[in-house]
Structure 1
Amino acid sequence: MQTMAPVVVQGTAVSPPQAVDVGYGDNQATTTAVTEHEPKKTGCKDPIFAILFYVNIIAIVVVAVTYGKDLSSSSESLDYEELIYASLVFGVASLVFSGGGLLFLLQYPSFMIKAGLILTIVLSLAWAAYAFIIGQYIMGAIGAFFFLLTLCYVKAVWSRIPFAVINMVTAATAIKANLGVCVFAIFFSLLQVGWLVVWTVAFTGVYNSTTANCVDDCNMNYGFLFLLLLSLFFTQQVLQACVHVTVAGTVGTWSGCCSRGVCNAFIRTVTTSFGSICFGSLLVAILQALRALASAARGNGDGNFLACIAECILGCLASILEYFNKWAYIYVGIYGYSYMESGKAVMQLFADRGWDAVIADDLVGNAIFLTSVVAGLFIGAIGVGYASANSSFSDLAGGSGWAAFLIGLLAGLCICSILLSTVASGVNTVIVMFADAPREFQANHPELSQKMTSTWNQFYPYV
């Protein structure tokens, strides 16, 4: 067999896949090489998209500064200041609760995965029950059908929980050994808090400016709304992806808490790989902004049927692209590939090895979603308490406790998703490296490798 030169993966020599054993024990089978990671040229990848991101940030800052002056001198300055205060309160509270949720998730992975599956059953049942209660019998019947499908899904995947657990345990071990990634995750979360404050100022200023003289129709111009939403989603996607890529690069190293490997992964994320991150994030942001625009049009009665169809299609496309990005960013973080090269390499890897059905079992995602929802509920409760104690914020929420709760819930979910993404990123990286470099994983971490391979063979003996 011809031996290829090893590839340095974040400081660790990893041989590119050759003819490798994809089975273990009695289920060994040999397959041909699926991927050859040739050394790539150094330098920034996809730089044009990094430039677009910086232009986006500069534009929003300029708008915020410009309209912020007008707001501060207007009679509505109290509302404007209260928006900033509320953003800071929700941002800090989100950091605290998401940090606690992260520790709990890493400590009790099996319980959280099972609870996440149970949550899907409860939500589908609640949907069906609520529809019947309000007299929407057709929607209730559809909800009952999906409830039965959910039961079948949970029954089918329940036996696969051990493999999901060992994936999470391995990822948790890597994250605990490289605890510095949590520092960078918090850093990006703080950036998200700051960004929400700046974007809120810009949005409020543009909204007040464009609706100042309206009489009947006080909706913002759809063009301005699209650009503002695109900026919001673009930046949010970039910050989340930066955490994902940093974790992927760090898990590839698996070195010390605040080691050079952790810092190097972060440096590569914000320099040479940043353009690739912005590339994928912009594509998702465009779809998300268009979907939000369709939702706004549907809410205003502008072509309800067509807007509903457009919203559904755009939501599906955005979900597919986010799924693609989740795996592509791992190769960006580990090998420093461009966005398109990374996506092609990782999907080809799974397709050739028959793992494309396995990665659909996103059991860990259910656990992370449950943790995010619980943290978001706490932030929503804080929103209700904040509205009760602060009349200005209560006025902004329309005097409704439910509105205050919803604002807090959404803010909590937005911030918590960044910090909790470290677990999902670690799990996804472990899965990719388990497929891409099983021998190196066995050599460096034999105990975890043995647990993963034995569990894998128990539930996927023919994959």
Structure 2
Amino acid sequence: MEKEGVREEVDQENKKECEVVVIENENYVKGIHDQQQVNKSYENREFNVSKLQTLNPTNPLRIVIQGAHQSHQVPTPSPPQPLRVSTTPQQQPSLSSLNSRKFTNRISLFIFLLHTVVAIGLVCFLGYKAVQGILKEGSIKRREQRVLRYWFPQVECSAIISIFLAFIWQKTLREWPGFMIKFILWSSFATSLSAGILLLCFQKPSTDGVGVALVGYSIGNGLYACWVTRRIGFTTKVITKSLEPITKFPDINYPIYLMMGVGFMWITVWVLAVIGALNFYFPPLVVILLVLSLAWTTEVLRNVANLTVSRVISLYYLRGMQSSTQFCFQRAMSRNLGSACLGSLFVPAIEALRIIARGLNLLEGEDEFMFSCAHCCLRVMESIFRYGNGWAYVQIATYGKGFVRASQDTWGLFERQGMERIVDADITSAICFLTGVCSGSICVIATGSWTFAVHRSFTATVSLLAFFIGYLMTRIGMAVPHACVSCYYVCYAENPENRLFDKTIPDRINFINSGRDVLVQTPRVPRNL
């Protein structure tokens, strides 16, 4: 009995040892399986991390994955530590600043809206006077019928021609920028010279004055085309690069279509108002006021399109966002309209003063009077460029700043990056201006010849008005390339490390700083005496 009891105890101990061995083997196999699963998870995480190597170091997605990877490398569990992300020295504006709800330049907005109400009332009243004069019997009826028959169709035709030319200029500049820059420079010279010679051939005192003005302008245009020859290569690179984002926004031209449609309808009723002004008190003064009103209105339309395109393109550069063109247009028509109104008054004057400053800088010579005038103009230009410039529209559209503050901040960015000489020497705005001159000259050739054939006494007035309308409508159509180039410069100055920018601007800066650039510098800062 004792032997059997001892044997049973031995058997039980052997069973326990076998069970222990089996359990240890199972744990060992399970441990190997768990280790394989962990290794697979490590491999998956390392694969995901390798795919995200191109992300910004401060990107939250990369931070989370790196934190997970580091936590698996620690064998013992530890309490979660708060992540510390180092901030870059240059902080980007928050997203809330991109959607500012305040209206910019409210005083300018109020003045423009008041002007619009008065202009609409005056145009309607003068249009009524024109219709009333046509319905009356006598000399007034005959005169207004003559104007309506031999003057109104030519003006409307010039508006239609300029609309087609505007889209032709824009399309060809996008397709062949290098060729079109040279073509625009010399075609504006050729067309303005041809229009001037044509008006001189009519041999009428009124047309002779307009013809001499066009011939004189064409000479200056030709000299300018020769002067900027060395800048064409760099301008071609900038325009080509800046127009690349347009392909991502197929509806980018919709605001242009709308603005040009509004401009065409306003010009139609405006012409009727001019006809009615002939039978009103002080016709010359009323016509001058109508011309100034039309110029301001069409310039505001152009800058609304400029602000729309600027916001779409700048948000693409700075945030990688594909914004809604419709939303950007609504914002330009509401919250940023005041800045467009203020800029429409000052930017054309600034551009004119810039041309004068360049001319005085070239002509100052040894004459003391010209020397003093040149430096006085340069000081004025320094102040104007700091408090008002055409580059401000990018920051107005992007951050909702006022016109003056946006001008100061934009020029400060250029100074910080050493880009003053580059933007001073930019000829994109000149190219857009010359397309307007070319379209206006073509309208003069077409409508001037037509009017001279049917009613010679209207030739000079129709030619002037056709040139004016052709220029204004073409400038609206050229708002897209102008805004794209402005965004390229301003957004680069704000974030030069953006991967969307290449070495075009840095190489140009190095080229200028090396002393190999022999261009005549745009006078902005007075030289030391």
Cα distance per residue 1:41-98 (max 9 Å; x no partner): 5222223322322221221121122222222121144256445443332222211121
- In structure 1, distance between residues paired with 2:146 and 2:438: 29
Change (3 A) 1:381 1:320: farther
1:54-203 correspondence to structure 2 within 5 Å: 54-74=113-133, 75=141, 76-79=143-146, 81-82=148-149, 83-116=151-184, 153-154=227-228, 158=230, 160-203=231-274
Equivalent residues of 1:72, 1:80 under 8 A apart: no
Deviation at 1:370, TM superposition (A): 4.0
- In structure 1, distance between residues paired with 2:470 and 2:221: 27
- The alignment partner of 1:208 has SS state of coil
Change (3 A) 1:62 1:120: closer
| Residue equivalent to 1:270 | 333
- In structure 2, distance between residues paired with 1:240 and 1:183: 13
| Residue equivalent to 2:11 | none
Question: Counterpart amino acid of 1:421?
Answer: A
- In structure 2, distance between residues paired with 1:46 and 1:170: 32
Cα distance per residue 1:180-206 (max 9 Å; x no partner): 222211211222222223333334433
- In structure 2, distance between residues paired with 1:417 and 1:111: 20
Change (3 A) 1:4 1:354: farther
| Residue equivalent to 1:246 | 308
How many residue pairs match? The answer is: 369
- The alignment partner of 2:422 has SS state of coil
- In structure 1, distance between residues paired with 2:294 and 2:412: 32
| Residue equivalent to 2:404 | 340
| Residue equivalent to 2:424 | 360
- In structure 1, distance between residues paired with 2:244 and 2:304: 21
Deviation at 1:347, TM superposition (A): 1.2
Cα distance per residue 1:332-386 (max 9 Å; x no partner): 1122212222111101111222211111112323433443343333323331454
Question: Counterpart amino acid of 1:192?
Answer: G
Change (3 A) 1:234 1:117: closer
Moved more, 164-173 or 274-283: 274-283
* Aligned residue among 328, 346, 349 for 2:413: 349
Give the unaligned 5+ runs of structure 2: 1-56, 61-86, 134-140, 195-207, 209-215, 352-372, 516-529
Moved more, 181-190 or 322-331: 322-331
Change (3 A) 1:177 1:248: same
Change (3 A) 1:148 1:386: closer
Equivalent residues of 1:102, 1:420 under 8 A apart: yes
- The alignment partner of 1:43 has SS state of coil
- In structure 2, distance between residues paired with 1:210 and 1:421: 38
| Residue equivalent to 2:21 | none
* Aligned residue among 492, 496, 500 for 1:438: 496
Equivalent residues of 1:328, 1:339 under 8 A apart: yes
Equivalent residues of 2:187, 2:438 under 8 A apart: no
| Residue equivalent to 1:22 | none
- In structure 1, distance between residues paired with 2:386 and 2:288: 20
* Aligned residue among 477, 481, 487 for 1:429: 487
Cα distance per residue 1:192-221 (max 9 Å; x no partner): 22222333333443343114xxxxxxx634
Cα distance per residue 1:383-410 (max 9 Å; x no partner): 1454367x4xx35xx154x664444333
Deviation at 1:124, TM superposition (A): 12
- In structure 1, distance between residues paired with 2:281 and 2:466: 27
Change (3 A) 1:5 1:65: farther
Question: Counterpart amino acid of 1:432?
Answer: V
Change (3 A) 1:437 1:114: same
Change (3 A) 1:234 1:405: closer
Deviation at 1:450, TM superposition (A): 2.6
Change (3 A) 1:112 1:287: closer
Change (3 A) 1:281 1:120: closer
Moved more, 239-248 or 65-74: 65-74
- In structure 1, distance between residues paired with 2:158 and 2:477: 15
| Residue equivalent to 1:381 | 445
- In structure 1, distance between residues paired with 2:192 and 2:152: 36
Question: Counterpart amino acid of 2:173?
Answer: L
Cα distance per residue 1:263-312 (max 9 Å; x no partner): 22111100111122122224468999xxxxxxxxxxxxxxxxxxxx9xxx
Cα distance per residue 1:223-252 (max 9 Å; x no partner): x56643442232122111111111111112
Change (3 A) 1:198 1:322: farther
- In structure 1, distance between residues paired with 2:439 and 2:193: 22
* Aligned residue among 294, 297, 304 for 1:232: 294
- The alignment partner of 1:210 has SS state of coil
| Residue equivalent to 1:42 | 101
Identity over the aligned pairs, expressed in percent? 20
- The alignment partner of 1:180 has SS state of coil
- In structure 2, distance between residues paired with 1:328 and 1:112: 26
Change (3 A) 1:125 1:355: farther
- In structure 1, distance between residues paired with 2:244 and 2:222: 36
Equivalent residues of 2:447, 2:463 under 8 A apart: yes
When normalised by structure 2's length, the TM-score is 0.59
Change (3 A) 1:99 1:147: closer
- In structure 2, distance between residues paired with 1:232 and 1:151: 30
Change (3 A) 1:184 1:322: farther
- In structure 2, distance between residues paired with 1:358 and 1:109: 19
| Residue equivalent to 1:297 | none
When normalised by structure 1's length, the TM-score is 0.67
Equivalent residues of 1:251, 1:429 under 8 A apart: yes
RMSD across aligned positions (CA)? 4.3
- In structure 2, distance between residues paired with 1:148 and 1:372: 16
